A and B are shown apart, each in its own frame.
Chain A
Amino acid sequence: MIGLISYLVFFATVASILAIAVLGLNLQWGNTGLFNGGVVAFFGAGAYGTLILGSPALEGQLGGFELAYPLALTGGMVAAALLAWAVGALTLRLRHDYLAIATFGVAVAFESLMRNAEWLAGGAKGIRGFERPLRAALGDGFLYNLAFLGFVLCLLVAVYLFLERLVGSPFGRLLRAIREDEDAARSLGKRPARVRLVAFVTGSAIMGLAGGLYASFYAFVSPQDILPVLTFQIWAMLIVGGAGNNRGAIMGTLLIWGAWTGSGWALSRFAPIEAQLYTGSIQFVMIGAVIVGMLLWRPQGLFPERLVVSQSGRSN
Chain B
Amino acid sequence: MPVTTKTRAGLTLGLALGLGALAPAAVAQDCTTKIGAVLPTSVDWGRPIAEVAQFAVDQVNEAGGAAGCKIEMVLRDTQVDPKVGVDAAKALVDLEGVKLLLGAVSSGVSMPILTSVTVPAGVPQFSCCSSSTAFTKLAEEGKTNGLWFRTFATTAVQSAVAAKVARDKGYKTVAVLYKNDDWGQDMARLIAADFAAVGVEVVANVAINDAQPSYRAEVTEALAAQPEALYLALYPVEGTSAVREWISLGGTQNMIVANSLKSDEFRDNVGLQYLGNTLGTDTASPRSDSADAFRTRYVERFGSEPNGPGLANSYDATMIALLAMEAAGPDASGADIAAAVPRVTDPAGTRVSADAAGFAAAKEVLAGGGTVMYDGGTGNVRFDANGDVSAPAVVWSFAEGGIDEVEYLSLDDVNGFIASLR
A interface list, Cβ under 8 A from B: 3-4, 6-7, 10-11, 14, 115-116, 118, 122-126, 128-129, 140-141, 144, 214, 217-220, 222-225, 227, 229, 260-261, 264-265, 268, 276-281, 283-284
On chain A, the residues within 8 Å of B95 by CB distance are 3-4, 7, 265
Does B107 sit within 8 A of A, measured CB to CB? yes
Please list 7 pairs of residues, one from A and one from B, whose beta carbons are closer than 8 Å in the complex, sorted by A's number. Answer: A10-B94, A116-B180, A124-B107, A125-B107, A141-B120, A141-B121, A277-B51
Interface residues of chain B, those whose CB is within 8 Å of chain A, are 40-43, 46-47, 50-51, 54, 74-77, 79-84, 86-88, 90-91, 93-95, 97, 106-109, 111-112, 115-116, 119-121, 132-134, 137-138, 141, 143, 180-186, 207
Identify the closest chain A residue to B181 (Cβ).
Answer: A124
Please tell me if the beta carbons of A126 and B141 are within 8 angstroms of each other in the complex.
no
Quick check: B77 and A222 within 8 Å, CB to CB?
no
A126 touches B94 (CB 8 A): no
A229-B41 in contact (CB<8A): no
For B81, the chain A residues whose CB sits under 8 A away are 224, 227, 229
The reply to whether A277 and B42 contact each other, CB–CB distance below 8 Å, is no
Known: A115-B180, A140-B119, A277-B51. A7 touches B108 (CB 8 A): no
Chain B proximity of A147: nearest CB distance (Å): 13
Task: Point out the residues of chain B lying under 8 angstroms from A219, CB to CB.
Answer: 112, 115-116
B115–A124 touching, CB < 8 Å: no
Cβ 8 A contact of A218, one of B42, B82, B97: B82
Chain A facing B: main interface SS: helix
- In the complex the two chains form, is B137's CB within 8 Å of A128's CB? yes
Task: Classify the secondary structure of B's interface with A.
Answer: helix
- Nearest 7 CB-CB pairs, A to B? A224-B108, A280-B77, A280-B42, A280-B41, A124-B182, A218-B112, A7-B94
CB-based nearest A residue for B44: A281
User: What CA separation (Å) do A51 and B111 show in the bound complex?
Assistant: 15
Q: Is the CB of B74 within 8 A of A217?
A: no
The reply to whether A124 and B41 form a contact with Cβ atoms under 8 Å apart is no
Contact partner, A126, options B74, B116, B134, Cβ 8 Å: B134
Instruction: Give the distance to chain B from A59, nearest Cβ to Cβ, in Å.
Output: 9
Evaluate contact between B138 and A128: CB separation under 8 angstroms. Answer: yes
Q: Give Cα A109 to B46, complex, Å.
A: 27
Minimum Cβ distance to chain B for residue A210 (Å): 12
Which of A122, A141, A220 has the most C-beta atoms of chain B within 10 angstroms of its own C-beta?
A: A220
Q: CA–CA, A229 to B78, complex, Å?
A: 13
Find out whether the CB atom of B108 lies under 8 angstroms from the CB atom of A126.
Answer: yes
Q: From B42, B115, B133, give the contact of A125 (CB < 8 A).
A: B133
Asked whether A218 lies within 8 Å of B80 as measured between CB atoms, the reply is no
Structural contact, B91 and A265, CB atoms closer than 8 A:
yes
CB-based contact B82/A224 at 8 Å:
yes
Q: Is the CB of B207 within 8 A of A116?
A: yes
A128 neighbours in B (Cβ, 8 Å):
111, 115, 134, 137-138
